[in-house]
Amino acid sequence: MITLLKDEEIILIQRRHWLPFLFEILPLAILTCLPFIFALFIFGGYLPSNLNNVFLNYKNYYFFFSFVFIFILWIISIVLWTNYYLDIIIITNKRIIDIEQFSFFSRDESEVRFEDIEDVKIEINGFWESLLKFGNIYIQTAAESGEFKIKNIENPEKIKDIISLQKEKVAEKKIS
């Protein structure tokens, strides 16, 4: 949960793009199918009968350990999904908050106020990034931290526009 400052309103909550997450989860999905493919091969009568009889004696153990394996993959998937789900960027009328969940108990929360922003740059690199509209945003700040980087975010152009607009609004408010 994010604690908002006085008079602070959330403008946008944006998650990272799902493609990098898909590349993480895809090997696990393939691994989940493996015990069933092996079962078809081992118990489907494709082996010589003497070897087939040996495997049939251990059929129950095979399925028990297969489901244990699938259960472990399920838990790993949920952990990866949680890391993806809790990785977000929040734009309010006062600041940008970037939350990166690396793993359990490893979390990075950084923020930059609009008055500290000097320059915003987006980077869309590669075929998939261009096709699915996601990329990185670099925010140059006047603060000690220097550059603020938001990785693999959806619609970087839209976010850049929102940041620029909000930066202008904050600057106007300051002058008036």
Which of 44, 49, 50, 61 is in the footprint of another protein by CB under 8 A? Answer: 61
Scanning the chain, the segments in alpha helix (DSSP H) are 18-43, 49-57, 59-85, 127-132, 156-175
Listed ranges 31-39, 67-75, 119-127, 142-150: which one lies at the site for another protein (CB under 8 A): 67-75
Footprint on residues 95-154 left by another protein (CB under 8 A): 99, 101, 104, 107
Which of 33, 79, 142, 171 is in the footprint of another protein by CB under 8 A? Answer: 79
User: At its nearest, how many Å lie between another protein and the CB of residue 21?
Assistant: 14
Q: Are strands 117-123 and 88-92 parallel, antiparallel or unpaired?
A: unpaired
Do the beta carbons of residue 99 and residue 108 sit within 8 Å? yes
Angstrom distance (rounded) from CA 44 to CA 41: 5
Listed ranges 31-39, 85-93, 122-130, 136-144: which one lies at the site for another protein (CB under 8 A): 85-93
Angstrom distance (rounded) from CA 160 to CA 122: 7
Angstrom distance (rounded) from CA 86 to CA 96: 16
- Closer to another protein at the Cβ: 87 or 116? 87
Which of 65, 118, 132, 147 is in the footprint of another protein by CB under 8 A? Answer: 65
